[in-house]
Amino acid sequence: MEMETKVTVNDAMTSNVVTVSSENSAADAAYLMSQNEVGCLIVKTDGEPEGIVTESDIINKVVAHDIRASEISVDEIMTKNLIKIDPGRELNEAARFMSRMNIRRLAVVKEGNLKGILTAKDIMAVSPELTEILVENARMENQVEYINEKSPVPGVCEACGNFMDYLDEIDGKFICDECKEDLEGDLT
């Protein structure tokens, strides 16, 4: 009799989460992201995880409006009502939920305590077969028709590890345009 093992959110999540206070400035948040090489920070208010601030938030809500990052607080740009998941939930359930909600990150919280963060990249690293769920959602959302396997697809670049909307397959690896240019530059 074969025993089936379930992969849980706890198995895939990143447990060392970088956090920021809602009172910090957007400049502080950007500095923390840069120093820790992360694309988001969980925002804590009175020690409780309350929201998330991402690189996109800083670009779209600060830079695009020519606001000085040191003059606007994280509270003003963060996504409030943090979407959370329990660490014991199954990973495939989390992937479907992220796809349905059109998000790439979930705070992993148990009994009000931040335990980690689950990203699309984490899911793909632990359970590549769940990539299809995330890829299918991206295809439907963008209403992109993929004619053959050589067409660009969304996913995690196997060179830099960033999630990108378009990857090209080069020598059996999925690579983003920037890494593709670097690779081509190395070949010349």
| pLDDT tens for the chain, residues 1 to 188 | 444 568 899 999 999 999 999 999 999 999 999 999 999 999 998 888 999 999 999 999 999 999 999 999 999 999 998 999 999 999 988 888 888 888 889 999 999 899 999 998 888 888 766 656 656 655 665 554 443 444 556 777 777 777 676 777 777 777 888 888 777 765 54
Indicate if 119 and 155 belong to the same structural domain: no
Residues 87 and 162 occupy one common structural domain: no
Please give the tally of structural domains in the chain.
2
Q: What is the pLDDT of residue 127?
A: 74
pLDDT for the residue 180? 80
Do 121 and 149 lie in a common domain?
no
Q: Is residue 85 part of a domain?
A: yes
Residues 118 and 148 placed together within one structural domain of the fold? no
Q: Are residues 33 and 86 in the same domain?
A: yes
Residues 45 and 116 in one domain: yes
In a domain, 136, yes or no: no
The residue type of 137 is N
- pTM for this model (two decimals): 0.66
Helix (H, G, I), strand (E, B) or coil at 171: coil
**Is 134 within the bounds of a domain?**
no
Query: Same structural domain for residues 120 and 164?
Result: no
Pair 27, 85 in one domain? yes
Determine the structural domain holding residue 182 and report its residue range. 144-187
| DSSP assignments along 57-80, one per residue | HHHHHTGGGT--GGGSBHHHHSEE
**CB under 8 Å to 27, separation ≥6 — which residues?**
68, 69, 70
**Where do the H-state alpha helices sit in 37-157?**
55-61, 74-77, 91-101, 120-126, 131-142
101 lies in the same domain as 149: no
- Asked if residue 106 and residue 154 are part of one domain, the reply reads no
Q: What share of the chain is helix, strand, coil (3-state, %, to 5)?
A: 40, 30, 30
Output the domain CATH number for residue 22.
Answer: 3.10.580.10
The answer to whether position 137 is within a domain reads no
Does residue 62 sit within a domain? yes
Q: What contacts 72, CB < 8 A, 6 or more positions away? A: 25, 26, 61, 62
Structure tokens belonging to residue 24: 């910090």
Same domain, 87 and 180: no
Residues 78 and 111 reside in one and the same domain: yes
